């Protein structure tokens, strides 16, 4: 069956440019999450969507980061005016949140490198 | 402040040498504790969810247990393909929202 997919798998950009990262969750999953994983930092939460709304944006590190979800499905994470410290692997996960199924299933990630 | 601590940071095992990984947590209102496995260059792969103290779950050579303060992941007779980083995460509070992850235990199993 289809899992969570993310694109692009790799993105190299120059400092100051904007980037968009895409996540396609597992079909039917109502909840969608963004995390990032940096060397030495572990996995840190960024934002959580339930349907198209974001009840928890507490992990977004600055106002340069934003995310949206449309049609209760695809989500885009946008980073404006990228900085070198934004370099990390950005991971998306989705969850059914019904019938006792609360586990989050992760995609392969997008590796972002800011030069 | 909520905390999730995993130990050891790294573990090197001979094939067949059983061992345990520890995940200790300090959170308010635990909803669930999750174990994941992560291979290099890939996203975390879900292994287990534990919801209440005393609960145990098994899958092949892995067994996860939960108490009120910690969880253990037991690896019985490991094989080289069990080499990976094992991540523990907790979900707490009033929603099935964010997972808070520990730093992981990197396991290497040699033939």
Distance CA(B37)–CA(B47), nearest Å, equals: 7
A44 Cβ under 8 Å from any chain B Cβ: yes
Residue-by-residue pLDDT tens, chain B, 111 positions: 789 999 999 999 999 999 999 999 998 889 999 999 999 999 999 999 999 999 999 999 999 999 999 999 999 999 999 999 999 999 988 777 899 999 999 999 999
Residues in chain B: 111
Tell me how close the Cα of B54 comes to any Cα of chain A, in angstroms.
Answer: 18
Q: Kindly tell me the sign of the dihedral angle through the C-alpha atoms of B25, B30, B36, B42.
A: negative
Interface of A with B in 50-89 (CB under 8 A): 55-56, 58-59
Q: How many CB pairs under 8 A join A and B?
A: 56
Residues of A in contact with B102 (CB under 8 A): 42
Given an 8 Å threshold on Cβ–Cβ distance, is A45 in contact with B99?
yes
Q: Is the peptide bond before B8 cis (omega within 30 degrees of 0)?
A: yes
pLDDT (tens digit per residue) in A9-52: 999 999 999 999 999 999 999 999 999 999 877 899 999 999 99
Tens-digit pLDDT profile for residues B98-109: 999 999 999 999
């Amino acid at each position: 069956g289809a899992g969570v997919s993310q694109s692009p798998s790799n993105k190299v950009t120059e400092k100051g440019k904007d980037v968009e990262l895409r996540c396609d969750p597992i079909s039917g999953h109502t909840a969608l999450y963004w995390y990032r994983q940096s060397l030495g930092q572990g996995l840190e939460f960024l934002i959580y969507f339930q349907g198209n709304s974001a009840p928890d944006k507490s992990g977004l590190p600055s106002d340069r980061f934003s995310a949206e979800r449309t049609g209760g499905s695809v989500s885009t994470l946008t980073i404006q005016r990228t900085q070198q410290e934004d370099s990390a692997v950005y991971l998306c996960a989705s969850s059914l949140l019904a019938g006792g199924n609360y586990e989050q299933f992760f995609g392969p990630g997008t590796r972002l490198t800011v030069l | 402040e909520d905390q999730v601590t995993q130990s050891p940071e790294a573990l090197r095992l001979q094939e067949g040498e059983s061992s345990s990984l520890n995940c200790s947590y300090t959170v308010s209102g635990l909803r669930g504790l999750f174990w994941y496995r992560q291979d290099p260059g890939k996203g975390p792969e879900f292994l287990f969810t534990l919801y209440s103290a005393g609960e145990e779950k098994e899958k092949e050579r892995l067994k996860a247990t939960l108490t009120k303060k910690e969880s253990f992941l037991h690896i019985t007779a490991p094989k080289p393909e069990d080499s990976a980083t094992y991540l523990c995460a907790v979900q707490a509070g009033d929603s099935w929202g964010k997972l808070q992850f520990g730093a992981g235990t990197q396991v290497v199993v040699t033939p």
